[in-house]
Chain A
Amino acid sequence: MSGKSKTIEPAPTVQVRKKPLKVRIRHSMGFYFMALPVIIFVVLIYYWPMLGIRYAFFSYKLRSIHWVGLENFRMMFSQKEFWQAFINTLWLSTFKLVLNTFAAVVIAIFLNEAINLIFKKVIQTVIYLPHFMSYAVVAAIFSLFLSPSSTGFVNETLKSWGWISQSIDFLHEKSMWQPIFFAINLWKEVGWGTVIFFATLSGINPELYEAAKIDGATRLQRMRYVTFPALSSTIIIVLILNLAKVLNMFEPVFVLYNSRVYDVSDVISTFIYRKTFLQPIPDYGYTTAVGLFKSVVGGALMLGCNALSKKVRGRGII
């Protein structure tokens, strides 16, 4: 096999820099032409907005823009609301990540044991399904189910079983909001989370199982000592990949939260949204500063996770 590829690929040492730069540039004209629309697009939607970061040091209300230095940051760091949002962001997204990953691993390991392949396939198809529904739809479904009105599925069912006597307004209840948030996200994403683990599991050498069987390992022992270790590096990769994005959470929270539960649900992005678009006269400067803080911390997180990923699997995320 290696012999075959040798004949196709030229020996790299001979090939390097065989043509002068000018010739290579002329040769690549077509590629530059192809890259042009991509470059324009990227500048337009990614780089141009980066220039707007300067507003973090300005006060920007209506049409009046003037320099305020670090005033926006001072105000941000002194606001209790901001810190609450920051802590909520970290807590909601990391716990969601850990919970979903853990559940996905358990599901993958046990479903991998299913003898009937059709059964396995059907279950997979079903549990992937909610991933393709938008957060707006999922929030709509569950808010209808959890609603305290006379057609609210959960409330009326619990009442008919005699578990509660009064309807509970689940989504407006501070103590209930976070568990419901985690449960809904689990329902939506856990199936999809298993995809990557199944891909890893399909690569396990069946001889390992045979060997373990001969050594007298029981079913559970095989799952514990063969299947699980095979998944461990994938688990770490999934955690690292997603850890880099923990600050980005917006839509999952936004579709479910409301003014009564801000304390437990507000995250940085929703904070920025609220302070800009729900204000009669927004100060774009201030919210840009909050956004800049988020971008910087997020970027650092991304670089850290990238380094970690390089260490763990010899390949970065980016």
Chain B
Amino acid sequence: MADMAAPVQVSQPVKYKKKRTKITTFDVVNVIVFTLIALIVIIPLWKVIVDSFNAVGVYQFKLWPTDPTFDGYKTIFTTQKLYRPFINSVVTTVLGTLVGLIMSTLGGYVLNQYDMPGRNAFSYFLLFTMIFSGGMIPEYLVMKQLHLVDSMWILVVKHGMNVYNLVLMKNFFEGIPTSLYEAAELDGCTPMGIFFKIVLPLSKAALASIGLMFAVTVWNDYSTVQIYITDPNQVNFQYQLRVMIMDGDTPTTAYRVSQDTLYYASIVCAILPFMAVYPFLQKYFVTGINAGAVKE
């Protein structure tokens, strides 16, 4: 087998120079293919952005708005039917992330106390929810009893507790050397003190990445709103976007903008918060999944 490839390799007689990779056809093709793949991802997004600034809807793909206008965005932020859901989205995302982080750090920390009587029971109590669930309808009936139907707080409640993220947090805490705890205990630090003074400050990266996971989930949630909320004052932006575009329920007052401009501007608003921070926080976006999945 080896001699098949051998003759190709021989053709570099003199070398003491640094190892320099030779660029082959393979590399060229590879670069071209991946550039195409990246374009497939980028072009739809670019078209959305460009068309959101275009006063007149066009079907072609343009690199730059031909007839630039900000009216799409102006309309969104002056129409109550549109900016109200946006504010709801911001509020629920912030609160949901906060509650989610509190719950998963508390639970993850307790789950790590192998000395605590009842620790295993607590762990089964949490893990059972990953195997079995009541289902959509019983959940709906419970939320109705809790008066959370038709209220945007359902988003905070539904996403505030996530067992998967809690386990991620626990895995992270496990990585903190036990010697630190012991030293703190010797110095007379209480368990709560250890949690606030040692564990949390050491977990900033984990908090950032799990916090982002919560934020993305709550911001992007559409189905919860679809199931639980009908009051237009309580819906979030994703839902409003969907209703406007797919069901054709455009706010009916006379606008100066074309329908398409408004649609595309709304899409941009719906993705803007994460697109804006993503390039800078990519590290945190990506570590969460790795921590969970490849930890051996």
Contact = CB atoms under 8 A, between A and B. Distances in A.
A163 interface: no
B245 A144 contact: yes
Nearest to B263: A144
A318 B286 CA distance: 21
A164 to B, nearest CB: 14
Contacts of A8: 177-179
Interface residues of A, number: 106
Contacts of B6: 216
B238 interface: yes
Nearest to B37: A127
Contacts of A114: 27, 30-31, 34
B293 A237 contact: yes
A254 B116 CA distance: 44
Contacts of A137: 220, 238, 241, 267, 270-271
B33 A110 contact: yes
B135 A291 contact: yes
A39 B241 CA distance: 35
Contact of A156 (B59, B134, B138): B59
B120 interface: no
B110 interface: yes
Contacts of A303: 131
**B interface: dominant SS:** helix
Residue among A46, A134, A313 with the highest chain B CB neighbour number at 10 A: A134
A33 B293 CA distance: 30
Contacts of B296: 313, 315
Contacts of A302: 130-131
A41 B293 CA distance: 26
Q: Bin chain B's interface residue count.
A: 35 or more
A195 B113 CA distance: 31
A128 B106 contact: no
Interface string A192-223: 10011001100000000000000111111100
Given A132-B274, A137-B270, A151-B58, A199 B44 contact: no
B47 A153 contact: yes
A132 B135 contact: no
Contacts of A32: 116, 118
B34 A216 contact: no
Contacts of B253: none
B141 to A, nearest CB: 5
A119 to B, nearest CB: 7
Interface in A221-240: 221, 234, 237-238
Contacts of B130: 302, 318
A155 to B, nearest CB: 8
7 contacts: A28-B113, A31-B110, A44-B146, A115-B23, A126-B41, A127-B37, A144-B245
Given A28-B191, A45-B161, A272-B135, 19 more contacts: A24-B117, A38-B106, A44-B146, A49-B138, A50-B133, A51-B138, A126-B41, A133-B220, A133-B271, A134-B270, A137-B270, A145-B47, A187-B40, A216-B9, A237-B293, A273-B136, A288-B135, A295-B133, A318-B127
Interface of B: 1-6, 8-9, 21, 23-24, 26-27, 30-31, 33-34, 37-38, 40-42, 44-45, 47-48, 57-61, 102-103, 106-107, 109-110, 113, 115-118, 122, 125-127, 129-142, 146, 157-158, 160-161, 163, 166, 177-179, 190-192, 195, 216, 219-223, 226-227, 238-239, 241-242, 245-246, 260, 263-264, 267, 270-271, 274-275, 278-279, 282, 285-286, 289-290, 293-294, 296
3 closest Cβ contacts across the A-B interface? A52-B138, A291-B135, A49-B134
